[in-house]
Amino acid sequence: MRSWKERLLSRKFITSIVAALIAGLKVYYPDLPDKAIWTVVGSLMGWVFIEGIVDAVSQYAKWSVEKVAILREKPPV
């Protein structure tokens, strides 16, 4: 089970909090420019995309290290 700190710093949680803040701002300030909202949304999407790439690369690196270790134990016939 993940700790509370990890849960509070997760991409899903931070993105949902920012989305709720944007929705609340749009309700109270209907003249809020759409360009500003899309700038925040685009930044969040870019951040999530980059973090996803970092996760994918780290998983690939972990897999490749394990694969090399297995190959060093038993050379292919």
Q: What sign for the dihedral angle of Cα 23, 24, 30, 36?
A: negative
Domain encompassing residue 67: 4-73
What is the predicted pLDDT for the residue at 35? 92
pLDDT of 77 > 70? The answer is no
**Quick one: which of 47, 28, 26 has its CA closest to 37?**
26
Residues 6+ apart with CB under 8 A from 7: 13
- How many separate domains does the chain show? 1
Structure tokens at 76: 């292919």
Q: What is the pLDDT of residues 24-72, one digit of tens each?
A: 998 999 898 999 889 988 998 898 899 889 989 999 999 999 988 888 8
Task: Give the pLDDT confidence score for residue 15 in this predicted structure.
Answer: 85
